[in-house]
Structures are given as C-alpha cells and as structure tokens.
A and B are shown apart, each in its own frame.
Chain A
C-alpha cells in the first residue's frame, strides 16, 4: 500500500463551546426557522480585510472559524465578558460584557487623559466623567436578589464621594467603595466619582457628550475608518466591583472598613457607561475573504464604500500578495473538503488543517503549498533542501501534525490571461503528498511495531 494512511484527527480534551455550523450561510438542516441568506460586509483597509459589525463577526467566526479578532488570539473576545467573570456570573442574564473593576479604572484614566489633552481643565474632566460613568440601573440584567439594594446603595454613596471627587484629590482611595481598586493614582481616583447626581443620563449636558463620544469610540490606529453614521451608541458594561456589606455612613466608617476586609469576597455588578471604548474587529486573511466572496457568495468586500467584484478582488489580492493564487487554490481545495484551514505560521508552514474547527480538534495536517506546471516543475515558493525538509518534518512531528505537501498543477494550456480570473481554478489539479520519517529500526518486522 503506497498511499499514506489517514489518521483520525485528535479531539481536544476540553471543549468550551458548541459547534454551530460549518459555514456562515443558512443550511437547510439547521434547526429553527429558515434564516435569510445574508451578505456580510467587510472593508479593505490598508490591504487588510476587516469585518466591523459585531453581528457579522460573530457569524463569520462562529460558523466556520473565519478570521481572527484583531485584539484576540483567535475568536474576537475583547469586547465580551472576561471568561473568568463570565463563569462566575453565569447566572446573570445579560448581553452586556462583564469586566473587572481594574479594567474599568483603566478606561477611566484613558478617557481622562484624552479629555485633558483636549485642554479641559481638571474640574471639567472630572465632572464630565462623573456624569458619564454614573452607575445605571440595568434592566433585567441582574439577578433580582442583588440588584435592588445595590442601586440604592450606589446612589447614596455617590452623594458622599462626589464632593471629594470633584476636587480630584486622593482622599477616597482608602475608602471601602474601592476595595479592589487600583493604587492611589490621581487618574484612578476618578473611578470613585460614581456620580453625585442621581439624575438619569439624559441630563448629561450635550457639550459633554460631544466632547466624549467622538473620541471615545476611536481605535487610535485607524481612526479614519470611522464613518460617522456608523458610530455605535454608548456601550454599557457591567463592572464587577467589590462592595462592602453595609452602608457608608460617616459615623460607622471605621467599623465598615473592618467589615469590608471581611467581605472582600462580596462582589457586585454595576452597570456603567464605558468611557473609553476600544473596538475589536475581525480580520480575515485574503484567502478567507475571497473564499467567502467567491465560493459562498456571502461577503461583500468594500473599498471606500464601493463593493468589489470577484474579478477585481482576485486581481487586488494577487497584487497585495503575489502568491495569493497558489495559496488560495489550496485554501479553497481544503475548504471544499469540509476542513478548516488556518494559517500555519506558527509551525513554519502555509496552512494548518483542522477538523470542524480549532476549538474541537487539534490540527491534523501542516501544509505547504506549491504551484507547478504540467511538467511538474516550476519556480517553487519554497525550495527545499533535505535539511530544511527534515527540520520541518521534525517540527511537525513534535506537534503531532503530519506534514503535507500540496502541489497545485496547472495545465500547460493555461495562460496568464486565464489566471486573471478565479475560474482558472477549475482546471487546476491538486496533488497531496504526505511526508513522513521512516525509522529503519522500527519497521524491521510487523510484530515489533507493537
């Protein structure tokens, strides 16, 4: 038997998510009502393909594992709850992200810095933030047991702390309200300005909102891509804060402090407006983007508000990445076999092939892609020596992946003109080869293999 044997992919021992669907398109077999076929939207920014709508991101990553979050390792998870907190508060039914208090303090300090850079004086900065980050009652977002008393408490505290907060001093840092707060940094102290006025958010003056909203949403690196009309509304977050068990009346303060040490474990979720939003997007590799457009027809890639056609994309991507045709051919081939290819950068190869998706299985194959002509020769993207091949084989073996060489063979009749359209893929043949080490002392006899 000269063919390589197929080894079943290894399941990951712990799987934290459930499998939704192989592809981000409505499939007849999916349970529930027949969903509308939806065309997602992505934008070309600096030769990268970004998806910005949170709903689209979720669909594209969750169904087929396309792309990666720009601020995350794989699944875009920056703007969702901290996984640890989410597990802790899993009874709380909310769609707001739960973040730890430290994180919130950071946001506050960044927002304050931003305002200061705009020339606002300290008092204004303080006041604006106070108003903006006042705890809000989130509707139905909290378990009823804890929700009510807490809101009341916070309003009460606000009145107290507000005085100090306005002055911007560091008096409050030792107070129980900030059990888990950061050190006595001036900026951090704004975290305690929990709003002296219990009035609703609408009372925040318009000038304040103007001052905050344009900047708060900005990702500093690519501020230009924010179309004004797509600006999302203020984001609400649930901040997990340490809260003391009792009230904070002055006369019992000393007692309360002792108490609060005992009750450090007791945490609350408080709904606040996020003063400094950072957006995470889904970045698609060129192959992924083109596959979604060309194979599934479920993505429109916009360049400066103009959607691009398939042929245009093919040419543009080839210009961005000269070997795009080769790598896309392989990507498409493996996708059309129902596998999930992701980049093999970390293993020194072009692609990694997952069954179902990275959360469920370990990658089975580490793939190197080459384009050759009819005579099976051609300028290789990656000419090998035995030494480099041995290295790669060893690396792949050590991470339990098989090394696959994937040759795309184009017919001799295919001209460069033909290759200017993705339709040329139909004439390309694919040869998969598995490279493996053969250990002479191990193969002496069949019995020995036990």
Chain B
C-alpha cells in the first residue's frame, strides 16, 4: 500500500549493521546450515535468496515474519535461516525504542490437516532430518496459545532458548529392519526428536507479517501492508498496488512471510493450495517446480514472452555496431603502420601523393576480406555516411600496394586517402624501413636432403602450363572444365554399373585429393537449427508452454525486477506421464526462448527432474 515505507523497511533491514547482531548471524549460518541437509547453502553469501531461502542473515530479518503457519518447512528453515536474527533485531528495537513488545506466538496443529502439499514439504524436510535431532531443551516451558501476544517474561524465555541445532543422537540412517527392540527404540527416539523439532515454535514480530488478499477474479494476491524483503525478487506493481502471483503468494505463505486473506478470513495453507492453484494461470505441477527452484535459491519469474522479442531485437541492434567495429580495421590494413601509431599521436596528415585511390565508389568497404550480405549492410551504416553502392569493388589496377620486400630498400608508405578511413581514424605517412629490417626476408635455405627430395619430386611433376590444352584455356572456368573432361575420360575405367547410371556416386575417382575435399563432395544433407522457422510455428499454439524464467541464485543480490536481464534458463513444466515434446513443439518453444536455454521440468509425484534439449551442430572433423 505504501511502497516507500516498505522499501524503507527493507533498506533498514539490509543496512542494519549492529555488529553483535552480525556475529549471531554468522554463528547461525555456520553452525546449522550444513548440519541440516548437507545442501550447498553458502552461508556467507550476502543477500542470498528470498525469505524462503538460505541461511542468509541480515537481509531477511526485518521483513520475514516467519509466521509459524507452516509446520515443517517454515519451522525447520527458520532454524537455520535467521530466525534468531530477527529476534536480535527485535530485541534491539525494543531496547532502542522501548516500545511495547508485540509478538505473536502461534502454535499450529502439526501437518495433519494439511494434505498433499505439506506432504511434499515433509519429504524434503523430514527425509533429511530424521534421526538427526536431539529434542531441544526448552528452558522456559511457557505454553502459549498460537497467535497470542507474548508477555515480557515469555518473550525473554523464548529469546534465551538455546539457538543451536541439536546434535543427532543416532547416526543418520538405519538400514534393514532387524526386528530388534533396540532398533525400534532408536527409531522411536529419532521420530520423537523429529516431532519435537518440528513442533518448535517460532516467535515473530506480528508487524512483519505481511497481510495479503487473494483476488480470485483477477488471479493475483494484493498486499495489504508493505512488502518485505521478498519484494526484491517477487511480485509486481500495478495501479499503485503491490501484487503477487498466486504461486508467489502460496510460496510466501508456506514460508510464513505473508498471511493470506480471502473474503476477510485468513486462509490456511491447505485452503490456499486449493484456491490459488485452481486458477487458469498456475497448475499444481508448476507450483511444485516453482517452489523447488525457489527453495534452491533461484529467482523464478513468470515467463515474459515479450521480453524475448525485445531482447532478440536489442541483441541484433547491439550486434551491428560490434561487427562494424570488428570489420573496420581491414579498411586500414594497407596502412596498418599508420593506424597503429595513430592512437598515440594524431599528427596532421600530409600525404603528397594519394596512391590509394579507388576507382569506383569511395565506400570504405569494411568487409574486404569477407563477402556476403552482411558486408553490404554494415557498410551502409558506416560512419562516413557513404551509402548507395552496395557492390564493394576494388580496382586493383588503381591501387598500388607498397612493396615491402627485400628488393626495395626504402619503403615510404604515403598517407592513406582519408575517405578510406573511418571518421575517427587518422592515417599518416610512414617510413617502414626500420620496420622492414626486423622482418626475416632471407631466402629459404634448404638442406641437402630437402633439395634432393625436391629434385626427385621434380622428375615426376609436369609443368601444368606446358600442356597445350591447358594453354588454350583462357580462364579458370575453362581450365576446370578441362579437368572435369579428363576426369570423365579417366573414369571410363570405372565400372559402368556405378558411373554409367542416372545416379552416380557422389565422388569420382581422382576427385579426392584431401579428406576435406572428399567431405565437401559428399556433404549433401543440410543442417538446420532449432530456432529456424520457429516464427511460423508460433501461430498455432497449444501443447507445452514456457512457464518460468529462472535466474541463478548468485544473481539475487543484483537482481532487479524491472530489468531482470537475460534469464539463466527457461522452464517448461510437464508431468512425467505426459508425452515428450515432438520436434515441432521443441522448435516452437526454442524459438520462444531465444538464446536462453530451455529446460523441461518433469514432475512425478513431487519428484522433479530436469532435461534440456539443446540445438547442436556436430563440428566437421577435418584433422585426419
């Protein structure tokens, strides 16, 4: 509602630099995070993740109310995620402001009523934790009904609880059941520890619980109080309101970061699952993938189809100048001497003669070495502004190339014609003599053996030009035709069942002088790419669609919703039993995804596996 204050709060939270507080934090991260799941949750990474994620410290504390609602996840996570920090923050505030403490302590019924969804969470949390926890000693056995505001002694008791994770009492695993009493006891103990751990209450500031309202008709959740830290990577603003997509709201609800209302009544998690995931926008599968990725720390946003095209275009635009810049040096190749030094000194040009004159256009022709359409386009945009003539033609009779060989003792390179150079490049006259001396211009000296070899080879070689038929050829084309005729004559010896037929082998005897040419002759199938012709397929939608843009977890700190940048990957979500996308869908989706890898997330009863189909072109292997 009042975004500024929300931001202010977030900023406050992030900046909160109470040193003692930080210490507490680090302690938490270091001690507990690895013990939990052995996951790679770098504790030292600042600003890591959203409320749902990671053992981050300060950032989360002011904004993460950690409601308590979620029995497994929220509680368990809270243990390694900075609950304690919040407590610290609170305490500090209390000290500073001396305000009345306003905390709520809620007890939630354990997962009983929460059906499937919590089951999923259960797997994740409980699977890893089973048997690792010691029942935490509750120093102050203050039983407070959930949701109640704590009194000062209660709060003090809650704060002074041990904040260390209990050690595991019996190793992580028991394997085959041996039916023994001892094993049963051990198991029971483990289970009890787990339940105790899960039942631990979280004490949170009521004020940091963000209230939000579910708007079924619009398929979004609107925040009723300023958003917390999660706003950096989640939600969107519209008409001056802070809003969340259903999947985001549900996730935050599970994390205990928001309290969700519908028709002025708070929603339980189970209700929220039912209400929020039945809309047209998000399916249960999609939510499972969403929350899986969120929990791992990724930033997950809804797929933005428009951003693809915009980006592709932007990419094209940005490519142009680059390629132009890359291709402009060839224009000054002839006077590389000059251009090399021009950076240091920009002497006025004083070239007497201008031998570098082009006959035709004065086009700079950046693509001298290259040919093709790209060249034309680029030169059209050249800074000289010379446009029009698309055919870059050099008249080499008019262009004199400086003789740098050993037989010309003194080499004076005149200044290049300015019109040959890009506008910001200056050329000047150069004497290359000193430079030439640094070159190795000696004649090649052959060893005795090499000379003998050459002499032997000479015996077998015939001078091509001595051949009268070759002499009659007036150009390469005629010469090649001649060679072709000769090949044909030679191939008379080739069996007629191969060469005397309408379909002949791709390679004729004698055509093969190197593996590369052979491969060239027999390469008849063309390669295509996944993105080719994808636009055509967009017209008929249906089937799979891209659901989410995913950004890597370490980009969270710099992530900005209004300019999220290129996603790390895009997600398509599908059930494990659904058909594999055919090439058609693959092409359509790849085209939509642009230059971002497309990943298929397959959900099989809560388990998720990911596969990517990537365009590929096997390189030609010419090194034989």
Cβ-based interface call for A307 (8 A): yes
Cβ-based interface call for B562 (8 A): no
B583, A297: Cβ atoms closer than 8 Å: no
Cβ-based interface call for A375 (8 A): yes
Pick from B509, B525, B528, B597: contact of A2, CB under 8 Å: B597
Cβ-based interface call for A438 (8 A): yes
- CB closest chain-A residue, reference B584: A376
Query: For chain B residues 558-603, which have a beta carbon within 8 Å of chain A?
Result: 568-569, 574, 576-580, 582-584, 586-587, 590, 593-599, 602
Interface 1/0 per residue, A293-318 and B, CB below 8 Å: 11111001000000111110000000
Cβ-based interface call for B613 (8 A): yes
B506, B508, B514 interface centre (most CB from chain A within 10 Å): B506
CA distance A408 to B525 in the complex (A): 9
Q: How many residues of A contact B (CB 8 A)?
A: 83
CA distance A354 to B590 in the complex (A): 28
The stretch of B8-16, B267-275, B490-498 that contacts the partner chain? B490-498
| Complex contacts, A365 vs chain B, CB 8 Å | 618
The 7 closest A-B pairs by CB, nearest first: A297-B505, A28-B513, A338-B621, A445-B554, A37-B509, A4-B614, A438-B610
Show 19 residue pairs from A and B whose CB-CB distance is below 8 angstroms, ordered by the A residue.
A2-B590, A2-B593, A300-B498, A310-B503, A370-B583, A385-B579, A386-B580, A390-B611, A421-B503, A426-B525, A431-B527, A432-B615, A432-B618, A435-B614, A436-B614, A438-B569, A438-B611, A440-B292, A444-B554
Cβ-based interface call for B553 (8 A): yes
Pick from B498, B525, B529, B613: contact of A297, CB under 8 Å: B498
A329-B525 contact, Cβ under 8 Å, with A310-B504, A376-B582, A423-B503: yes
B526, A336: Cβ atoms closer than 8 Å: no
B580, A23: Cβ atoms closer than 8 Å: no
CA distance A27 to B507 in the complex (A): 12
- CB closest chain-B residue, reference A393: B611
Cβ-based interface call for B622 (8 A): yes
Cβ-based interface call for B162 (8 A): no
B527, A339: Cβ atoms closer than 8 Å: no
Cβ-based interface call for B423 (8 A): no
A310-B498 contact, Cβ under 8 Å, with A439-B610, A440-B296: yes
Query: For chain A residues 420-442, which have a beta carbon within 8 Å of chain B?
Result: 421-423, 425-426, 428-441
The stretch of B218-226, B414-422, B475-483, B515-523 that contacts the partner chain? B515-523
Query: For chain A residues 332-381, which have a beta carbon within 8 Å of chain B?
Result: 332-339, 353, 355-356, 365, 370, 372, 375-377, 380
- CB closest chain-B residue, reference A436: B612
Pick from A6, A336, A438, A446: contact of B524, CB under 8 Å: A336
Pick from B584, B595, B599, B611: contact of A1, CB under 8 Å: B595
CA distance A444 to B614 in the complex (A): 19
A338-B527 contact, Cβ under 8 Å, with A23-B515, A297-B506: no
Chain A binding surface, main DSSP class: mixed
B621, A293: Cβ atoms closer than 8 Å: no
A445-B530 contact, Cβ under 8 Å, with A39-B494, A39-B495, A355-B621: no
Cβ-based interface call for A384 (8 A): yes
Identify the B interface with A (CB < 8 A): 39-40, 42, 292-293, 296-298, 494-495, 497-499, 501-510, 512-515, 518-519, 522-531, 537, 552-554, 568-569, 574, 576-580, 582-584, 586-587, 590, 593-599, 602, 608-622, 624
A3-B525 contact, Cβ under 8 Å, with A307-B497, A311-B503, A439-B610: no
A385, B580: Cβ atoms closer than 8 Å: yes
Cβ-based interface call for A250 (8 A): no
- CB closest chain-B residue, reference A423: B503
CA distance A235 to B39 in the complex (A): 68
| Complex contacts, A431 vs chain B, CB 8 Å | 527-530, 583, 615
A387, B576: Cβ atoms closer than 8 Å: yes
| Complex contacts, A437 vs chain B, CB 8 Å | 609-612
Query: For chain A residues 1-58, which have a beta carbon within 8 Å of chain B?
Result: 1-4, 6, 19, 21-23, 25-29, 37, 39
Pick from B501, B568, B580: contact of A443, CB under 8 Å: B568
CB distance from A79 to the nearest CB of B (A): 28
Pick from A25, A293, A308, A435: contact of B613, CB under 8 Å: A435
CB distance from B96 to the nearest CB of A (A): 36
B519, A337: Cβ atoms closer than 8 Å: yes
| Complex contacts, B624 vs chain A, CB 8 Å | 19, 21-22, 338, 356
A310-B505 contact, Cβ under 8 Å, with A375-B584, A385-B580, A444-B40: yes
